[in-house]
Amino acid sequence: MQVLTNSHFPVAIIGGGQAGLSISYCLKQRGIDHIIFEQNKIAHSWRSKRWDSFCLVTPNWQCMLPGYPYPGNDPNGFMQRDDIVRYIEDYASTFKPLIKEGVTVSKVRKPENVFEIDTSIGHYVADQVVVATGGYHTARIPRMAERLPASITQLHSSEYKNPESLPEGGVLVVGTGQSGCQIAEDLHLAGKQVHLCVGGAPRAPRTYRGKDVVDWLDQMGYYDMSIDDHPQKESVRAKANHYVTGRDGGREIDLRRFALEGMRLYGKLKHIQGEQLEFKDDLKHNLDQADAVAESIKATIDAFIEKNQLDAPIDSPYQTVWQPETSLLSLDLETANISTVIWSTGYHTDFSWIEIPVFDGKGYPGHERGVTPAQGLYFLGLPWLYTWGSGRFSGIARDANYLADCIALKNRVLPRQLSRNVNEVALGS
Per-residue pLDDT at 231: 86
Sheet holding 264-266, edge to edge: 153-156, 338-343, 170-174, 194-197, 264-266
Per-residue pLDDT at 257: 97
pLDDT at 120 over 50: yes
Residues 248, 175, 396, 12, CA torsion sign: negative
How much is the average pLDDT of 415-421? 38
Find out whether 344 and 157 touch, Cβ atoms under 8 Å: yes
Confidence of residue 74 (pLDDT cuts 50, 70, 90): very high
Per-residue pLDDT at 413: 58
Q: Give the max Cα distance, the chain.
A: 85
Per-residue pLDDT at 426: 29
Confidence of residue 240 (pLDDT cuts 50, 70, 90): confident
How much is the average pLDDT of 258-287? 96
Element (H, E) at 29: helix 18-29
How much is the average pLDDT of 224-253? 90
Strands 276-279 and 269-273 turn out to be antiparallel
Q: HSE on the CB side for 98, CA within 13 Å?
A: 17
How much is the average pLDDT of 29-52? 96
228, burial (CB in 10 Å: exposed 0-12, middle 13-18, buried 19+): exposed
CA atoms of 429 and 421, how far apart (whole Å): 10
Find out whether 409 and 377 touch, Cβ atoms under 8 Å: no
Lowest mean pLDDT among 1-10, 40-49, 72-81, 325-334: 1-10
How much is the average pLDDT of 258-275? 96
Per-residue pLDDT at 425: 28
Find out whether 198 and 255 touch, Cβ atoms under 8 Å: yes
Find out whether 306 and 298 touch, Cβ atoms under 8 Å: no
Per-residue pLDDT at 292: 97
Percent of the chain with pLDDT over 90: 87
How much is the average pLDDT of 357-379? 96
pLDDT at 414 over 70: no
User: How distant, in Å, are the alpha carbons of 66, 152, 270, 420 from that of 143?
Assistant: 41, 15, 12, 56
CA atoms of 154 and 113, how far apart (whole Å): 47
pLDDT at 371 over 70: yes
Q: Chain-centre distance of CA 401, in angstroms? A: 20
The 10s digit of each residue's pLDDT in 87-106 is 999 999 999 999 999 999 99
pLDDT at 415 over 90: no
| Cβ atoms within 10 Å, residue 416 | 9
pLDDT at 419 over 70: no
Per-residue pLDDT at 326: 82
pLDDT at 141 over 70: yes
How much is the average pLDDT of 355-364? 94
How much is the average pLDDT of 214-239? 89
The 10s digit of each residue's pLDDT in 288-312 is 999 999 999 999 999 999 999 999 9
Report the chain's mean pLDDT, rounded to a whole number: 92
β-bridge mates for residue 119, sequence order = 105, 122
Kindly provide the residue ranges of all beta strands, DSSP E only, lying in 29-85, ordered along the sequence: 34-38, 64-65, 68-69
Comparing C-alpha atoms, which of 14, 127, 131 is closest to residue 408?
127
How much is the average pLDDT of 332-343? 98
The 10s digit of each residue's pLDDT in 166-207 is 999 999 999 999 999 999 999 999 999 999 999 999 999 999
Comparing C-alpha atoms, which of 246, 51, 258 is closest to residue 157?
51
| Cβ atoms within 10 Å, residue 289 | 14
